[in-house]
Structure 1
Amino acid sequence: MALTYHSVPEVLVDALPYFDIGYEDTGVRESALALVEEETRRYKPTKNYLEQLGQPNYHSFETEVMKNEFERLSNRLPMDMLSMKRYELPVPPAGKQTDVTAWNECVENSYAQLEHQTTRILNLELMWDYGANTWKIYNSALQTMLEQAQKQLLELRKRVQEINFQRKHEQTQAGHKLNSLEQTWVGLVSKNYEIECAIAELEKDNQNLRKRKEGKRI
């Protein structure tokens, strides 16, 4: 099991996990971790790999309200209390009890409050009449979305399983082919060794014959 590095970022993984054996042998995990540790120690990144993406703008989505709230939180200031002034019906102050304009403003404020309460009552009546059906439609839409998401999940799981089966099949075939090629290589090496041994014997016999021939001449 080895990693062969070509031009970055291409990486050729020379391994057949579905076919290879010996991953659980003693010392294999330690050796792999040692290789990773060594490469990590030698690797010193000096390049910004996200440079082509530009500088991120983390504040582009912030509104003025959000900016003010973030500023309040950073300064550890308390949150403003909910103003109930719009729901109050104040009378004119003591100095304007006889001022008709002040009383008209109070009356107009009461009219606005009354209209607001009337609108709330109307919304409640609409909710009573149509709210249940609206929620049923909403729940039905959620159920449809859930079924679609579940269907997509099943399809993805099926695809992942098919890819794993395909990888296993391809790796098994490659493993058998590698074993066959290895056996052929071993056979050829053995034959070459036998031929070399036979040649050595023939050379030895040839030398002996030459020595005998030279001895007879003498």
Structure 2
Amino acid sequence: MAGEVVVDALPYFDHGYDEPGVREAAIALVEEETRRYRPTKNYLDYLPPPNYNAFETEMMKNEFERLQARLPMEMMNMKRYELPTPTAGKMTDISAWTECLENSQAQLEHQALRILNLDLMQEYGASAWKMYNGVLSQMLDQAQKQLQDLRKKIQEINWQRKNEQSVAGSKLEQLESSWVGLVSKNYEIERACAEVEKEIQEIQQRQGKR
């Protein structure tokens, strides 16, 4: 395959990484390759333009505009909680008093609902919170179990790599030892052949003189 790089390093088996000059040589190789690397002007051209407003709600948009304009935050409108009486000109107006009465009834209902919610929270809030904490604890246990499984898989992969590299390293040592032995034998055979050829030449020379 074109451009394929074969990595022949066996970090679990090889030695000598801590020797002087090895780290400097590796850094020099990286810097040399970096000088040959010519990145494009914009390597993100193939991606669509980002939509920064995809998750922006109308309320968020208004708040961002307020912050950009450096305007103060609008105070909470408490008018709906007020119980104003009719104005001086409408003190005898039945419809004005009716509106004030409906407003007060709505306020009373709202406060009654708040009291009901507080009573419910006081009675069931602790149990609901315990259930919520239980769900969080269960989620935490699941996340920790996933983390342990991932760490176990990583460890198994590392052990597998170490075992494969140790086997490959031992085989390489055997092959290297065999290669050294064959080279030595070939050298001995070549030397013996040279000595035999020399003896033959001497014999031929002695026979030629007779």
The TM-score with structure 1 as length reference comes to 0.82
Distance in structure 2 (CA, Å) of the matches to 1:191 and 1:47: 59
Following the alignment from structure 2 to structure 1, what is the Cα–Cα distance between the partners of residues 202 and 173? Answer: 43
Match of 1:172 among 166, 186, 194: 166
Structure 2 counterparts to residues 80-91 of structure 1, below 5 A? 80-91=74-85
Task: Kindly indicate whether structure 1 or structure 2 has the higher relative contact order, using CA contacts under 8 Å at least 6 residues apart.
Answer: 2
Give the CA deviation at 1:90: 2.4
- Equivalent residue of 1:17, what SS? coil
102, 110, 113: which is aligned to 1:116?
A: 110
Which one is further off, 71-80 or 60-69?
71-80
Query: What secondary structure sits across from 1:119 in the alignment?
Result: helix
Partner amino acid for 1:189?
V
Q: What is the number of equivalent residue pairs in this alignment? A: 210
Q: Give RMSD over aligned pairs.
A: 2.5
User: Aligned-pair distance for 1:110?
Assistant: 1.6
For residue 104 of structure 1, the aligned residue among 89, 95, 98 is 98
- The offset of 1:213, in angstroms, is 5.0
The alpha-carbon distance between structure 1 residues 93 and 36, as it changes in their structure 2 partners (threshold 3 A), is farther
User: Residue type of the partner of 1:67?
Assistant: K
Cα deviation, residue 11, structure 1: 4.8
Partner of 2:14: 20
Which of 140, 144, 148 is the matching residue for 1:146?
140
Could you tell me how far 1:48 is from its partner in structure 2?
5.9
Q: Secondary structure at the match of 1:13?
A: coil
Distance in 2 (CA, whole Å) between partners of 1:47 and 1:186 is 52
Indicate the residue corresponding to 1:156 in structure 2: 150
SS in 1 for 2:52: coil
Percent identity of paired positions between Structure 1 and Structure 2: 68
1:136 paired to 2:144: no
Equivalent AA in structure 1 for residue 22 of structure 2:
V
Q: Which amino acid aligns with 1:16?
A: L
Q: Secondary structure at the match of 2:7?
A: strand
5 Å-filtered alignment, 1:2-21, equals: 7=2, 11-21=5-15
Give 1:56 deviation, angstroms: 3.0
Residues of 2 paired with 1:207 and 1:91: CA distance?
139
Match of 1:199 in 2: 193
Structure 1: stretches of 5+ with no match in the other structure: 1-5
1:62 aligns with 2:93: no
d(CA) in 2 for partners of 1:83, 1:35: 68
* Offset, 1:7: 4.2
Structure 1 residue 47 displacement after superposition: 7.6
